[in-house]
Amino acid sequence: MKKIFAGATALAAFFTTAVAFADQPRPWQWRFQEAATGIMEQIEWFERYTLWFIIPITLLVLALLGWCIFRFRASVNPVPSRTSHNTLIEVIWTVGPVVILLFLAIPSFQLLTAQYTPPEEPKLTIKATGNQWNWDYEYQVEEPLSFNSALLADDARAAAGKEDLGVFPRLLAVDNEVVVPVDTTVRVLVTAADVMHAFAMPAFGVKTDAVPGRVNEIWFKAKKEGLYYGQCSELCGKDHAYMPIAIRVVSDAQYNTWFTAAKTDLNGANKALMAAVDGNRNVAAAGN
């Protein structure tokens, strides 16, 4: 019995880890993806915080509307009031919203400041250029690495070793993922080569427009290893829906190995990295 329980615990831990350490859109999803960065955690907190104001205000307005409809309907109030001034009511509906807006504005500005203020100087800078309908990435280091990332065609899955739709979903999987090290502040310079696009990664809490002739800057610091998916979020033409973004977060050692190999053989480096990640997953599944 103890062995069965230990095996079940290890298996449960594996699946829990698989879900927690990567995220992607889910069918009928109505909440945020699981946060993978500190900024996304702050966004989730702010959303819960605002609901403490939004829900009571919505219920209050609904109740007042219902009361007015019932209390002042024509059948019971044939002669309407001609009141044009009430100092107390005017003070309440002026001061009340101002106080509420202050409670919303202060944490909102704090979050906005954090989104544009990295906690440290970014250790890695990547330029992302949106095209109709794919992304060009350039690692801006001493020896730059550049590659294109496009939607993975169904007939190319086998050759790429990406046949598992659970890990590489249809319409989200790409041929070449962006690879970054975990717990590292990454700067992303976002622009476009033709029309407006938008670089969005929900689990990281980042989203910015890609505008031709302009460079916008965002940053993230992923705290969990895994494969994360986003999409272009600006209507950019007929294939806008087929312009995914995929970022793979790995350990420092895995990133360094991948980057060194990718300079001469990107496909080989990607496959080697996938094998290393799958190997770690198999070890976790075995409970070792």
Mapped to the 3 state alphabet, what secondary structure does 35-49 carry? CCEHHHHHHHHHHHH
Q: Look at residues 252, 235, 254, 233 and name the one whose alpha carbon lies nearest to residue 244.
A: 233
- Listing DSSP states for 107-152 in one string gives HHHHHHHHHTS-SS--SEEEEEEEETTEEEEEE-SSS-EEEEE-BP
Binned average pLDDT, 10 residues per bin, the chain of 288 residues: 42 38 78 91 95 95 93 84 84 92 96 92 96 96 92 92 90 95 96 96 95 96 94 94 96 95 93 85 41
Dihedral, CA of residue 229, residue 230, residue 236 and residue 237, to nearest 10: 30
The residue to which tokens 């003070």 are assigned: 91
Burial of 177: CB neighbours in 10 Å, binned 0-12, 13-18, 19+ = buried
Residue 280 has what pLDDT?
60
pTM for the full predicted model? 0.81
Residues 120 and 187 sit within 8 Å (Cβ to Cβ) = no
Q: Where are the alpha helices (DSSP H) in the chain?
A: 2-20, 38-71, 87-115, 157-160, 252-262, 266-286
The residue to which tokens 């965002």 are assigned: 218
Residue 21 has what pLDDT?
52
